[in-house]
Every structure is written in C-alpha cells, then in structure tokens.
Structure 1
C-alpha cells in the first residue's frame, strides 16, 4: 500500500513546492514594491518546474539549485552584453536590434558546443540581452536601471525556488546511486556470461548497448550528487573511477566475444565452469571473484586469457570502490592507489556544423521578428520577439526541437483562455486581497505542478505563458487590449520560431556520425605509441561518451555501433600491447597519427578518401615493420585486425 501511495506523495510534494515558490516570489515582489513582480514569479516557476519536466517527476536535490545558478550567470552575462550593445549603438536603434539578434545567435552557437549541463546559461544570456534591448526602445537612458531591476527580480525568483526546495524535503539521489551501482555490476556479469557462452549477436548488442546507457546515466547521477552537497566529494571520486571501470568491463567482455568467434576454445573449461555458476547478488559476485583470483594465481600466466584476467581485476576494483560509495567512508590507501587519476582525454565537440545551424536559426528567427515589429508598428511586437528568442534558444540544444516548439505552441494557446479567465474575472475581484490572489494563483500552480511531472505536452508552456500574460505589475491595471496584444504576440512568436526551424533544415546528422566514427579511428591509431605519457591517457570515458551520442543519433543502426565498439576494443588492446621501442617505429607512429588527423579534419570528400587510402597503406607498411622487428603476436594481430576493419568499412568512414 505504501509503495502505491509513494508516487502520489512525491508528486503532491513537488506540486506544493512549486506553489510555494511561486506564491513566495509573488508576495515578496509586491512587498518590496518591485516594478514588475511578474519576472520574479516567472523565474521561480521556470527554475522549479523545468527540472521536474525534464526528469518526469520530482527532481533530485541540487537540480533546482544548479539551474538557478546557471540562470543567474546567464542573466548577468546577458545584462552585460545588452549594456555594451546599447552603449555602442544608442543612436542607431535598428543597428542595436540587429546586433541583439546576432548576439542571440552567437550565444546559441556557443551553447551548442559546450556541455549540455551548462548550455542553459548561454542560451539564457542570448535572449536576456534581447529582452532588455527590446524593452528600452522608447527610453534607452534607463537601461542601467532596467538591467539592475531585471537582475534583482530574477535573483529573487531563484532564491524563492531554492528556498522552497530546501524546505520541502528535497529528494536525495544517494539511495538511487547505491542501487544503481549494485545493478550495474550484476549487469556487467550477465554481459560477460553472454559473451563467453556464444550468445547471439542481437543479445550481445542489446546487453552492451543498455550497459553503455546505464553507465552514462550513472555518471549523470554523480553530477546530481555533487549538486546536492559538498560532503559527497569522496563518493564522487569513487564514482568517477567506477565509470572508467564499468567501461573497461564492457570493453573486455565484448573483446572476449570477438576472440571466441575466431578461437572458440580460448577460455579453459575449468574457468568457464566457475564463471557459469549462477549469481543473484553482489555478494555472489564477490565470492566468485575471490575464487577466480585464487584459480588464476594457481594457473600459469600463459594459460590465462589476458582479457579474462583484466576483467576480473577491474571487477575486483569495482567491488572495492562500491563499498566506499555506499558508506562514504574515508578513502583507504588501497583505494587511493585505484583512484590515482589518469590523464583523462576530453574530445572536442563533433557538432560544429549543427552549432552553426542553431545559431543561424536563432539569428534569423529574431531578425524576422524585428522586421515584423518594425513593419507593423505593433505595440506588442516586443513580446512576439521575446517569445521567438526564448523558443529558439531553448529548443535548439535539445535532440528534438520540433517537440519543444509544439510544447510552446500548445502552452501559449492554452494560456490565452486561462489567462483571460484570471485577467478579466478572478484578478479584478481579488486585487484588493493578497490572500485571495495567492489562493487563485496557488490552485493553478498546484494543478500544473502535478501535470508537469507527467511530462504532459504543453504544461510547461502553459505555466510560463499564463504568468507572462497576467502582466503582474505594481500597481496593477487591467487593459483588455494590452492583454490580448501580449497573448496573441506570444502565439505569433512561437509560430514564427517554429516556421524558421522547419524552413532552415539541419542536415548535419550524417556529418556528425561520420566525424564520430573517424574519431574512433583516430583514437585507435593514437594508441600506437611508445611514449609513456601518451599511453597513460584515459580515452575510454570520451570514447564511450561519443558512442552514446552515436546511439542517440542513430538508434537503429547496429552496424555503426559494432564498428565503433570494435575500434574502442582495438584502441584498448593497442594501448596495453608491448610495442618495440625504437626510433624507426616511433617516427612511423607520428606519421600514421598525422594521416589519421588529416582524415578527421578533411572538408572535401575526395581529399578525405585520399587520406584514408594513405592511412590504410601506412598501416600495412607498419604491420610489415612490426614483423621485421619481431614484435609479439598480440601487437601484430591487433594492427592486422585494425587494418582489415578499416578496409572493410572504408566507404562508411570516408564517404
């Protein structure tokens, strides 16, 4: 019974939290006699409801705080940008508006290139400057005062949202992380069982694909944990190492599967029998790893498959760190040795063309709004422009911009009748009583607080649009023309933004996929080195992050995932291989890496194909050199396998 009531309790708790944040912002806005309390109320609503809509339920502790901090940063950047633009072009209003459109497009372009978690601040900076510039067109001399008031109102709304989150028992993610860590290790063991027992390709593909998503989700949960409190620093260090260990386990299990396809009996029967005994809990895995270590220690090194030895070692370290994650105890000396940080390699964004398209869409959409405003002379054309900037800035960074546009279109359309009811009937009757006004708005906030957690299309847009058209100001006035202009301006702005997104097509998906695949090729080739510092670089998190991006872009293209995973396995194998140390091979390593880099940066298909053919030829020569210098079979076989893989998929990688 309690399990059935728990989801209802959490949804009602968040609805109360959202209602409290909105009403506190409303009360304080009028109490401090802010000129437009609407901005503080709107900020509190968006900061509190946005994470809930994204999470599909009550957000974890720290998510609202993080979003609030990003909004403060974005607002201050936008205000500074607006002040600079106005100072330079105060005598040329049209140029000022044009520069604000370019600023919005530039912020959107940069926000596409940075981490998704931080892109909200830059998108906000773009349309904040536009809002300020549009709002002061009749009185540019009051710009500094308006910017200060805008920042004050937004900070007040953010403080109210954070205070509501603290007061109403924020939901901690720690217990979810503890369960996820155990579940992740059990899933890793099941993947190994599939790989060493000749499961079908479809079963293996589904299992490792799910594990990549699970590992990526756990790393995102680590970010939420750090937002929650600084006392989880030790857990964060352990979880970062667990992320790398999980990726290592996936790689080694899939490598075992590929080896079994070529050499069916490479795992000894006694090891196979020991691994195949059923496990149900993490404790069972702990006992199995202890037995495996004893058996491996008693077996000659040449008879133990390297891939299995590596898997058992990684799983043992995983178990050690998982205990520390659950207890958050002081890091021991043994753990410290495991946690010694390798040099993590961060890959640059593969979405440069996509970022350019996003910036162009935002710039063109806001410029069209300016032309529409100047041509019609419509008094509420400013609200139309603001809505264009908001929709394009929020939609562009998400995987499906069209769905965001639909949400805003439905929400703004629903805001017209709901806002009319409040503006024409309820609010005039309650304007003499703050209590009645709070009750009226509280009912609306509570209902939307329930619906927004269900990710109901249009709920977030309805909340923002309704608060915006109510024109909460000090003192209040009720002009029907002002209300209709504002409401219709919102709808037209959403329509123009949607039209621009539909007309300016984004054909960068195939380009991003090719760039990502060529980065896997470069990572595999870059492992060919005798430089100790280069060989200690940890590429796995970046490579699997790009693999997850590939999974997101092409959810049904199994061939791409297999190719990417094969290249990741090859990278790890070459990184750990014993490459002969001599000047001739070292010079050839640099040459091969330079050719792979030319393949990666080539802008012309013909040039890319030429560089790729040259890379294949150089790898064949390198293979012959390894044989000449009597390299071990591990390295020669790995280079041959890499060459064969690249030759087989040369059209997908170069065309």
Structure 2
C-alpha cells in the first residue's frame, strides 16, 4: 500500500516539476476557453493533460499528431453524418467501419504518427454521438471541438517548452552511448566465437527503441534535428557492424587450423581495440589492416582480414556518429534512408475488426433497447476511446482495467468537487482551486510507469465529469448518467477484448516467416542504395518481436526465432555480394542471373531441390569470378556466395532433423 502511495507522499523533484507544468497548462487552456466563451472548455484542459509528456519535444510531436488526428476525425464525422444521418443502421455501420480502419492503421503504422489514427478513431465518435439527432449542428460542433483541442495543444506545448524544459536529446545521448557500447560488446563476443544471440538481441532492441524516440528530437530545434540525424546514421552503422562481425564468424569456419592460427594475432588485436576503443586506436588498426602486404597471403586469409577491416571501419563510423549526437553537430553526411519497421497487415486487420465489432455490438444494444442518447453517448464514446487506444495491444484487457480504475476514482472525486464544493464557490481562481488540487496530486503519479495510465485517466475524466463552463456545472442527473455510462462503456470494451482474442505469438510466428522470405526476394532485385538500412532495420524489429514471445512459444514455434537469424544472415551475405560486385561491369550479367536464381530459391522454406539449385548456380558464378581474376572484392564476393550456400544448407538440415524428430524417419 505504501509503495502505491509513495509517489504522492514523497514525490521526486521531476514529478513535482511535471505536475506544476501540467497544472499550469491545463489551467491556462481552461481560462482562455472561458474567455473565448467556448461551448465545452473542459476539452481544452483535457487535451492539455492528454498531450503532456516529460520531454518538450514529445509534447510537440504528440500535439501535432493529435491535431492531425483530430482534423481527420472531424472530416470523417462530417462525411458520415452527411451521408448516413437519416439511416441509423447504416450510420452505425459507417462509424464502426471508420473505427476499424483507424485501429488497423494505428497498428500497421509503427511510428509517432500512428497516434493520429488513434485520435481519428475516437474523435469521430466524440463529435458525432452527442448531437447524433441534430445533424445540422454537426459542423458547428466539429469546429468547436477542433478549436478546443488546438487550444489545449498550444497551451501544453508552450508551457512545457518554456518552464523547466526537458529535452529529449539528453536521454538520447545516454541511450546512444549505450547502443554504441552494446554494439561493440556484441562484435567482440562474435569475434571470440561465442554464442551471442542474447547480446545481439540486446543491441537490436536498443536500436529499435532509440529509433522510435529519435522522431521526437526533430521538434527540438537545430541541435535536436542534428542529433536525430546522427542517431539515424549510428543505427545504420551499428547494424552494419553487427552484420560484418557475424559475417566474420561464419567465414572463419571455412579456414584451416593453420590459417586460423596465423590470423589469430590480428583477431586478438581487433578484440582488444574494440574492448577499449578510441578514435586513434581504431584508425591505426584500420590502416594496418589495409596494408598491401596482406595481398601476398592466401585468399582465405585475405577474405578474413578484409572482413576484420569492415568491422573496424563500421566501429569508426559509429564512433563519429556518437560524437555528433553528443555535440549536436553532424560530422558526417546524414543518411537519406530510415530504418524500416515490420508491418503486420493481417494482425492489423484482426485488431481493427475487434475494435469495430466491440463498438458495433454496444451500438446495436443502444438502438434495440432505445437507450436515451444523453445516457448512451458516454458509453459509446468510452468504447470508441478504449478500442482506439488499446484494441491493438496484446494485453488490452489488463490495460483497460487500469483505465476503469482511474475512471472509478474520478467519479468519486468529481462528485465531491462538482456537486458539493464548486456550486458554492464563484470566480475562476476558486474554480481552479477545486479542480486543480486533485489534478496536481494525480499528475504526480503520471511520471511513474506503473501507475501512469490510471493517473492520466483520472486527470482526464476529472475534467470531463466536472464539466466546468461559464454557465455553471452539469446537473446531478446528468452527472449520474455520465458516471454510470462511462464505466459501462469500458466494461463492454473489456468483455470484447476477452471474447475476441488471438494468440499473438503463434500468429506472428506463423506469418512472419513468409514476410521475411518476401523481403529476402526483394533484396535480390531492389536497388542496393538504402537496401542495407531497410532490410537491417526490419529484421532487427522482427527479431525483437519474436524474442518478446520466445518464453511463451511452443517448442515448434520457437524455431521461427532461428529461422529469422538464418534469413538475416542470408540477407547480410546478399548485401556483401552485391556491394562487392557493384562496380564490376563485366560480371553484371552473371550476377543478375544468379540473383534471379536466388529469387526462385527463396520462394519457400529450404528443401532438397532448392539446395541443389542454389549450389549449382553458386558454383557457376564462383567459376566466372575466378576466371575474371581475383582482387579483394572478388575474394569477398566468393566468400559471400559460399556463406549463402552454407546458411541455406544448414537451415535445410535443421528442418530435416526437426521433421525426423516429430514424425520419425520415413
């Protein structure tokens, strides 16, 4: 019990500053709304609470996303009302369809702008439902909601940018340092020949996380934009570092014991330099690895040294990017391509259907039993809000329970404030004193992740239930109706989440393999420019998603994690091959023929026929490269072909052994 109350009894300095800023932003928005005599000023104050974030850049980005979503929802509301206001059943179907599409889009679009579709989904319901039987007033009502919401966004953004501003890039500098260190550690472990799956996953998870936060820094002036671009470069270079290190670990297996012993001093130097890296030591080692004396070595040794040079060069670039993040000035030209996230359209469609179905069922209940709109609108709006925000979450029901708790707390406090205290007080100062004190206390808990949701919902519903206006407060009858309707809407959404559920881990394991093979085929034909970034970023995202469910996956489903590792290795070597032969004009026809063969091979999981087809095409291309004469790039190309053969063959053998274990030897 004490642990729950501790954030409110002994708040941290950051929590107090955040609560002060939020209270000022909400109070300012409410005061201006009163001065402008807006119809429902509580929306301005509630919006200021909704967009409030610990960092100023997050407030602006979330505010802009909310503004875009509000405008989208307004347009949808006007269109739906204009077309279907006279046909109630089509009207309800259209609202459900709009909510379904918005939920699906917010699932598929995995960036800060996905919040726009969340807002568009429930803004439509908020605008349409209260005046559903007054279609001629919908336009005025929509304009009023847009004005109030924009006012809340402006006030919150201004207060958080001026008063004790906390920049996103301060945290990004720390995270960037951690990513650089994690990448070097993973590379060192790989060079040592150790099992590095967990280290690799740690590095990939950090890259995916910081890439999501990078977008917020774009709204923090020139320094913030430079740091965001530097982080974009660093993510690219760390992925290249991990790819080069894994390529080295695969290729060194082809060396004889004698060759490996001769190269061990170079490997040890690389490991030592990466363990305690400095810009000078990395450059000195890279220069030594480029010496012409290595051309006298056997070709397998030349290949390993070239791969070690790639590892060190990637570490140098990543170090320069880290220096740019710290200084806020770019030391290298920014990459034009962004990391690409995995997009699961089938899962998005499912979550969208769940959201639309929940809203449709409660709407049908309302229509059949003739529920008064003054009472039903609160429930329907809460269903729309809950479904838009949480229907695409794996633990939607658990999150919604926190939402329900916050709403129940808000009902009790709002009744005391709006029905017992404020009616006897007059003037805005006393009004804000009555509402602002519980708002300030609840906002102290909004910086604690464990209770953020409950405290945020309490703050929003406190304002919505108190419903302060220039013309007094809502009646007790209206308050009771809304107090009953809001929890009922949340409960209906929770029931829908329990009844319509999916085994997300099984779903992702089943359908992600096809998506990864599709990307592998695309990698053989698409332009090489930017291919490394989109393929590496998407594979990083997928590995993180698969790893999230490894502990609860069945044994036969966990193999998808290892399938993803094989596909990532194949993609890395295709990139190495295409990069090595990019400027070899005389080999382009042969390379294109080989890539066409790879596209056919990657149409399905490995089998005996595809292994034979790949080996035949690989041997032909290796023979042609040798006939043209070998340089360093030719050596790298041949080693890439060998590794493509080896990874595909190993994957086939693993599947064959697994099938024999499951079904027995035929």
Short-chain TM bin: 0.7 to 0.9
> Which residue of structure 2 lines up, in the alignment, with residue 166 of structure 1?
161
More displaced 10-residue stretch of structure 1: 132-141 or 631-640? 631-640
Matches within 5 A, 1:263-282: 263=255, 265=260, 268-277=263-272
Q: Deviations over 1:538-577 (max 9, x none)?
A: 5322322332333334466675444423322332223222
**What number of residue pairs does the alignment pair up?**
617
Cα drift, residue 523 of structure 1: 4.2
> Which residue of structure 2 lines up, in the alignment, with residue 564 of structure 1?
564
> Which residue of structure 1 lines up, in the alignment, with residue 376 of structure 2?
381
Secondary structure at 1:398 match in 2: coil
> Which residue of structure 2 lines up, in the alignment, with residue 190 of structure 1?
185
Alpha-carbon separation, structure 1, partners of 2:133 and 2:366: 14
The answer as to whether partners of 2:607 and 2:652 remain within 8 angstroms in 1 is no
> Which residue of structure 2 lines up, in the alignment, with residue 436 of structure 1?
430
2:150 to 155, 164, 188: 155
> Which residue of structure 2 lines up, in the alignment, with residue 311 of structure 1?
311
1:72 to 62, 67, 72: 67
Unaligned runs of 5+ in 1: 1-5, 52-58, 600-608
> Which residue of structure 2 lines up, in the alignment, with residue 54 of structure 1?
none
2:647 to 638, 642, 648: 642
The answer as to whether partners of 1:402 and 1:498 remain within 8 angstroms in 2 is yes
The answer as to whether partners of 1:127 and 1:386 remain within 8 angstroms in 2 is yes
Secondary structure at 1:169 match in 2: coil
> Which residue of structure 1 lines up, in the alignment, with residue 6 of structure 2?
none
> Which residue of structure 2 lines up, in the alignment, with residue 23 of structure 1?
27
Q: Deviations over 1:277-329 (max 9, x none)?
A: 48776xx4324313312432345144452321110111112223332332233
Cα drift, residue 531 of structure 1: 7.5
Matches within 5 A, 1:192-211: 192-199=187-194, 201=195, 204-211=196-203
Secondary structure at 2:78 match in 1: helix
1:12 is aligned to 2:5: no
The answer as to whether partners of 2:205 and 2:540 remain within 8 angstroms in 1 is no
Structure 2 length-normalised TM: 0.84
Secondary structure at 1:116 match in 2: coil
Secondary structure at 2:290 match in 1: helix
The answer as to whether partners of 2:273 and 2:281 remain within 8 angstroms in 1 is no
> Which residue of structure 2 lines up, in the alignment, with residue 420 of structure 1?
415
Cα drift, residue 508 of structure 1: 4.9
> Which residue of structure 2 lines up, in the alignment, with residue 44 of structure 1?
48
The answer as to whether partners of 2:61 and 2:112 remain within 8 angstroms in 1 is no
> Which residue of structure 1 lines up, in the alignment, with residue 80 of structure 2?
85
1:134 is aligned to 2:132: no
Alpha-carbon separation, structure 1, partners of 2:396 and 2:657: 28
In structure 2, the CA distance between the partners of 1:594 and 1:321, relative to structure 1 (3 Å rule), is same
The answer as to whether partners of 1:530 and 1:586 remain within 8 angstroms in 2 is no
Q: Deviations over 1:586-644 (max 9, x none)?
A: 34532542563x54xxxxxxxxx7x9776445324423544664666414422321321
More displaced 10-residue stretch of structure 1: 550-559 or 504-513? 550-559
Alpha-carbon separation, structure 2, partners of 1:439 and 1:550: 49
Cα drift, residue 165 of structure 1: 0.8
Alpha-carbon separation, structure 2, partners of 1:653 and 1:422: 65
Q: Deviations over 1:481-511 (max 9, x none)?
A: 2111101101000000011111112245423
Alpha-carbon separation, structure 2, partners of 1:531 and 1:438: 60
> Which residue of structure 1 lines up, in the alignment, with residue 5 of structure 2?
none
Q: Deviations over 1:22-48 (max 9, x none)?
A: 111221222221111121121111111
The answer as to whether partners of 1:275 and 1:288 remain within 8 angstroms in 2 is no
The answer as to whether partners of 1:73 and 1:121 remain within 8 angstroms in 2 is yes
Q: Deviations over 1:94-144 (max 9, x none)?
A: 322331122111221222222232121112112211222211123222111
> Which residue of structure 1 lines up, in the alignment, with residue 488 of structure 2?
492
Unaligned runs of 5+ in 2: 1-9, 627-634
Alpha-carbon separation, structure 1, partners of 2:159 and 2:658: 51
Matches within 5 A, 1:278-297: 284-297=277-290
Cα drift, residue 345 of structure 1: 8.1
The answer as to whether partners of 1:238 and 1:321 remain within 8 angstroms in 2 is yes
In structure 2, the CA distance between the partners of 1:182 and 1:500, relative to structure 1 (3 Å rule), is closer
Cα drift, residue 387 of structure 1: 0.2
> Which residue of structure 2 lines up, in the alignment, with residue 247 of structure 1?
239
The answer as to whether partners of 2:566 and 2:651 remain within 8 angstroms in 1 is no
> Which residue of structure 2 lines up, in the alignment, with residue 228 of structure 1?
220
1:447 is aligned to 2:441: yes
Cα drift, residue 148 of structure 1: 0.9
Cα drift, residue 529 of structure 1: 6.4
More displaced 10-residue stretch of structure 1: 167-176 or 549-558? 549-558
In structure 2, the CA distance between the partners of 1:20 and 1:615, relative to structure 1 (3 Å rule), is farther
Structure 1 length-normalised TM: 0.86
> Which residue of structure 1 lines up, in the alignment, with residue 113 of structure 2?
118
The answer as to whether partners of 2:270 and 2:312 remain within 8 angstroms in 1 is no
Matches within 5 A, 1:568-583: 568-577=568-577, 581=587, 583=589
Q: Deviations over 1:42-93 (max 9, x none)?
A: 1111111xx4xxxxxxx22211111111111111111111111111123223
Cα drift, residue 414 of structure 1: 1.6
Alpha-carbon separation, structure 2, partners of 1:323 and 1:270: 30
Alpha-carbon separation, structure 2, partners of 1:100 and 1:380: 19
1:403 to 375, 394, 398: 398
Alpha-carbon separation, structure 1, partners of 2:34 and 2:384: 28
Secondary structure at 1:128 match in 2: helix
The answer as to whether partners of 2:573 and 2:641 remain within 8 angstroms in 1 is no
Cα drift, residue 248 of structure 1: 1.2
2:93 to 91, 94, 98: 98
More displaced 10-residue stretch of structure 1: 436-445 or 631-640? 631-640
> Which residue of structure 2 lines up, in the alignment, with residue 504 of structure 1?
500
1:462 is aligned to 2:458: yes
Secondary structure at 1:97 match in 2: helix
In structure 2, the CA distance between the partners of 1:403 and 1:227, relative to structure 1 (3 Å rule), is farther
2:356 to 354, 363, 378: 363
Alpha-carbon separation, structure 2, partners of 1:171 and 1:453: 13
